[in-house]
């Protein structure tokens, strides 16, 4: 269990009820620690405590003051737990009173995880302004779309003003160019007042390369394990207790002080922790304890590339207790089914059959041999509920990690886009959209950074080029450092009132409303589901049921009409939606009702739902 008090923020500079500043720093190898105040060039020594902590209570520090820590009377660094970096990652930290914000969401209760329909957002490219304040102006749009949860890509302070967010080096500090800590609080407050939950993407598997001062304070990293980013964060080596408390304190801060409803933890398979209590278990324990104290529930969602249910199983079943995980395999199977090439990590997936398996079993690889990995991979997830898996037809990774960052709208037809959207919404899992997909955004989402270190910038350029060797892609990747790469990735909001984008947006709204309104789709019971797939015909018939209500979803991934028959009887079948209807930009009108045998000729690249009750 975390030794720090989860009821309040512990690390860094915080203000108590008397207005005094409480300062706490973990620097176990320092012989002397002082805090340096820029306003008057004063230095105040901290007192050494147990386990490498240094502390101070003083009335000499006020909100807005900028400061640095001085170690051993010579080296000056920003606060590892800084809440604000007004001059960027290389500048001084700013003391702010995180508890001073006046919340208006007192009545807010988190949405049950099963009802999450998530919309992933990158703050910098979501609007022209690229700020939290500008995002607030779009919340009515998201609510009208039917979204119930907004997922914000990482906002921890990174170098410069352009970055996906996974290069953050101050985990407690909210990116200054987005609007800082109070800007994020205002956004969360506004979301809750619109009925929207907020998911924040956090990175606990590595720290970014530029402005990373953690190692100057303590052994935050260990050479016991290698990761794609170098030495692993020290979760189980000597001095790991302070590291674990640092990250758990961070997670509790987002829930407690920013009212975040859920965390999405980036690539947790890259977290190296072989101690008796995994860091994820510790964060889960602290999350549950915080919920008992505040009465607010919070969810922990992980990005996981291991097909290992241990991470999402509860602690009483030997698991780590994470509430849900992303499953990329559904995405990979869906993309291959749409006709996209089987290169790189798509090579392991077969059109239609892999997608059908993911509908039934969540994991495509649950013990079978993976040729891409050259080993048997995964385990069965038959006892895990549908709400434990997040699925999507695109996200920031699978768009932005393409060399040119092309969105789905630039790779497949509009008819196929509608089919992919339906395939996600009809699944027994939690659906997620990537910003702009709902109206067929045509701008790319490319990889961009704004490092100030020339050597690092060049290394990033070379790394991007090497990354595409496995995909056998020719040509040159856009320069990640160029501002043009960033501006080219911004959403074009004027498209939502133009065709064919307006029709696509209407189709998404209808799909989402059907998902919400029909219990056979909204109740995520994986047991009442069956799939018929025909690899040769390139069709899937997905059957879902809740009590007496039955829904049949027809998917034709081929470019030819296909005759299909559902092997389920009802006196009358009613059409809920057909992507091929003229209303949605198609050219075929499927019948509104069908008697008894549900037999159809599916138009090419189409998605269709029939139901046995007209509700």
At the top level of CATH, the class of 528-611 is mainly beta
> What one-character DSSP code corresponds to residue 20?
P
Please indicate if the annotation marks 265 as binding a ligand. Answer: yes
Q: Quote the tokens at residue 594.
A: 């069908």
Please indicate if the annotation marks 329 as binding a ligand. Answer: yes
Q: Which residues contact 450 (CB under 8 A, 6 or more apart)?
A: 159, 160, 161, 162, 163, 481, 483, 486
Q: Quote the tokens at residue 193.
A: 């007042």
Question: Domain boundaries in the chain?
Answer: 12-100, 116-206+246-504, 528-611
Mean pLDDT (the chain) is 94
On whether the CB atoms of residues 148 and 115 are closer than 8 A, the answer is yes
Distance, CA of 86 to CA of 438 (rounded, Å): 35
Please indicate if the annotation marks 268 as binding a ligand. Answer: yes
CA dihedral (511, 513, 514, 515) positive or negative: positive
> In percent, how much of the chain has pLDDT > 90?
89
pLDDT-derived band at 171, boundaries 50, 70, 90: very high
Please indicate if the annotation marks 330 as binding a ligand. Answer: yes
> In percent, how much of the chain has pLDDT > 70?
98
On whether the CB atoms of residues 150 and 136 are closer than 8 A, the answer is no
* Cβ atoms within 10 Å of 163's Cβ, excluding its own: 27
The answer to whether residue 522 scores a pLDDT higher than 80 is: yes
The predicted pLDDT at position 471 comes to 54
pLDDT tens-digit profile of 336-370?
999 999 888 899 999 999 999 999 999 999 999 99
Select from 242, 245, 138, 237 the least CA-distant residue to 187: 138
Distance, CA of 502 to CA of 152 (rounded, Å): 25
pLDDT tens-digit profile of 489-498?
999 999 999 9
The helix/strand/coil state of 566 is strand
pLDDT tens-digit profile of 3-56?
677 888 999 999 999 999 999 999 999 999 999 999 999 999 999 999 999 999
State the average pLDDT over residues 164-193.
97
Phi (first) and psi of residue 465, to 5 degrees: -65, -40
pLDDT tens-digit profile of 99-128?
999 999 999 999 999 999 999 999 999 999
The predicted pLDDT at position 224 comes to 94
The answer to whether residue 615 scores a pLDDT higher than 70 is: no
Please indicate if the annotation marks 332 as binding a ligand. Answer: yes
Placement of tokens 């990158």 in the chain = 122
Instruction: Find the catalytic residue in 66, 167, 266, 286.
Output: 266
The helix/strand/coil state of 199 is strand
The predicted pLDDT at position 57 comes to 96
The predicted pLDDT at position 1 comes to 40
Provide DSSP, 126-155: HSSS-SHHHHHTTHHHHHHHT--EEEEPP-
pLDDT-derived band at 227, boundaries 50, 70, 90: confident
State the average pLDDT over residues 479-491.
95
On whether the CB atoms of residues 525 and 386 are closer than 8 A, the answer is yes
State the average pLDDT over residues 393-410.
93
Provide the residue count of the chain.
615
Phi (first) and psi of residue 226, to 5 degrees: -105, 145
Q: Quote the tokens at residue 155.
A: 């906002």
Select from 247, 291, 253 the least CA-distant residue to 273: 247
Q: Quote the tokens at residue 128.
A: 């022209």
Please indicate if the annotation marks 543 as binding a ligand. Answer: no
On whether the CB atoms of residues 46 and 55 are closer than 8 A, the answer is yes
- The answer to whether the 12-100 and 528-611 domains have the same CATH topology is yes
Please indicate if the annotation marks 269 as binding a ligand. Answer: yes
**Which CATH superfamily, name and number, covers 116-206+246-504?**
Glycosidases (3.20.20.80)
Q: Quote the tokens at residue 170.
A: 């101050």
Please indicate if the annotation marks 267 as binding a ligand. Answer: yes
> What one-character DSSP code corresponds to residue 111?
P
Choice among 116-125, 278-287, 471-480, 551-560 with the minimum mean pLDDT: 471-480
The predicted pLDDT at position 458 comes to 80
The predicted pLDDT at position 170 comes to 98
The predicted pLDDT at position 2 comes to 55
pLDDT tens-digit profile of 288-318?
999 999 999 999 999 999 999 999 999 999 9
On whether the CB atoms of residues 312 and 409 are closer than 8 A, the answer is no
The vertex-24 CA angle with 249 and 96, nearest 5°, equals 80
State the average pLDDT over residues 383-405.
94
Distance, CA of 188 to CA of 150 (rounded, Å): 10
Please indicate if the annotation marks 398 as binding a ligand. Answer: yes
The helix/strand/coil state of 273 is coil
Please indicate if the annotation marks 122 as binding a ligand. Answer: no
The answer to whether residue 560 scores a pLDDT higher than 70 is: yes
pLDDT tens-digit profile of 561-578?
999 999 888 899 999 999
The helix/strand/coil state of 306 is coil
The helix/strand/coil state of 172 is strand
| Residue 303 known to be catalytic | yes
Choice among 3-17, 81-95, 206-220, 321-335 with the minimum mean pLDDT: 3-17
Distance, CA of 253 to CA of 250 (rounded, Å): 5
The predicted pLDDT at position 404 comes to 92
For residue 270, the number of C-alpha atoms closer than 13 Å in the C-beta half-sphere is: 17
The answer to whether residue 472 scores a pLDDT higher than 60 is: no
pLDDT tens-digit profile of 237-285?
999 999 999 999 999 999 999 999 999 999 999 999 999 999 999 999 9
The answer to whether residue 469 scores a pLDDT higher than 70 is: no
Instruction: Find the catalytic residue in 65, 94, 237, 303.
Output: 303
**Right CATH for 12-100 from 1.10.3720.10, 1.10.1670.40, 1.10.10.370, 2.60.40.10:** 2.60.40.10
């Amino acid at each position: 269990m975390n030794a720090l008090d989860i009821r309040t923020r512990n690390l860094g500079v915080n203000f108590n009820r008397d207005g005094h500043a409480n300062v706490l720093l973990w620097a176990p190898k320092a012989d002397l620690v002082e805090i340096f105040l820029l306003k008057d060039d004063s230095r105040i020594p901290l007192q050494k405590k147990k386990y490498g902590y240094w502390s101070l209570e003083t009335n000499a520090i006020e909100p807005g003051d900028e400061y640095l820590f001085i170690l051993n009377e010579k080296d000056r660094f920003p606060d590892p737990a800084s809440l604000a970096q007004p001059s960027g990652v290389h500048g001084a930290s700013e003391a702010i009173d995180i508890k001073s914000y006046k919340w208006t969401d007192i009545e807010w209760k988190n949405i049950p995880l099963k009802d999450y329909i998530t919309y992933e957002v990158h703050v910098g490219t979501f609007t022209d302004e690229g700020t939290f304040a500008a995002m607030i102006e779009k919340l009515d749009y998201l609510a009208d779309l039917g979204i119930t949860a907004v997922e914000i890509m990482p906002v921890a302070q990174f170098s410069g003003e352009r970055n996906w967010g996974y290069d953050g080096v101050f985990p407690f500090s909210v990116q200054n160019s987005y609007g800082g800590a109070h800007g994020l609080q205002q956004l969360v407050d506004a979301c809750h007042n619109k009925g929207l939950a907020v998911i924040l993407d956090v990175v606990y598997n590595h720290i970014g390369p530029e402005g990373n001062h953690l190692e100057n304070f303590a052994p935050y990293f260990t050479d016991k394990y290698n990761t794609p980013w170098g030495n692993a964060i020290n979760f189980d080596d000597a001095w790991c207790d302070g590291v674990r408390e640092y990250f758990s304190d961070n997670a509790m801060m987002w829930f407690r002080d920013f009212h975040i409803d859920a965390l999405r933890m980036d690539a947790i398979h890259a977290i190296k922790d072989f101690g008796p209590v995994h860091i994820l278990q510790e964060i889960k324990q602290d999350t549950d304890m915080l919920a008992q104290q505040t009465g607010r529930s919070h969810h922990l969602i992980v990005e996981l590339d291991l097909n290992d249910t241990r991470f999402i199983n509860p602690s009483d079943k030997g698991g780590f207790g994470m509430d849900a995980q992303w499953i990329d395999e559904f995405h990979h199977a869906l993309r291959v089914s749409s006709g996209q090439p089987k290169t790189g990590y798509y090579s392991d997936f077969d059109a239609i059959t892999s997608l059908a398996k993911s509908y039934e079993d969540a994991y495509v690889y649950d013990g079978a041999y993976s040729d891409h990995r050259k080993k048997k991979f995964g385990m069965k997830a038959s006892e895990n509920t549908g709400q434990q898996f997040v699925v999507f037809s695109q996200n920031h990774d699978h768009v932005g990690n393409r060399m040119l960052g092309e969105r789905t709208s630039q790779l497949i037809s509009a008819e196929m886009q509608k089919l992919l959207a339906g395939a996600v919404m009809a699944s027994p899992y939690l659906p997620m959209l990537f910003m702009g997909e709902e109206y067929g955004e045509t701008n790319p989402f490319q990889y961009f950074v704004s490092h100030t270190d020339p050597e690092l910038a060049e290394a990033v350029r070379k790394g991007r080029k090497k990354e595409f060797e496995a995909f056998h892609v020719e040509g040159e990747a856009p320069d990640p450092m160029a501002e043009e790469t960033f501006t080219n990735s911004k959403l074009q909001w004027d498209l939502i009132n133009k065709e064919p984008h307006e029709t696509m947006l209407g189709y998404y709204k209808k799909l989402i409303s059907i998902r919400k309104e029909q219990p056979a789709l909204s109740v995520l019971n994986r047991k009442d589901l069956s799939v018929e797939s025909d690899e040769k015909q390139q069709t899937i018939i997905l059957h879902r049921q809740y009590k007496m209500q039955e829904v049949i979803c027809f998917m034709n991934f081929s470019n030819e009409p296909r005759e299909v028959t559902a092997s389920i009887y009802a006196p009358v079948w009613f059409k809920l939606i057909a992507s091929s209807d003229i209303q949605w930009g198609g050219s075929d009108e499927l019948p509104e009702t069908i008697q008894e045998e549900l037999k159809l000729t599916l138009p090419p690249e189409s998605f269709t739902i029939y139901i046995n009750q007209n509700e």
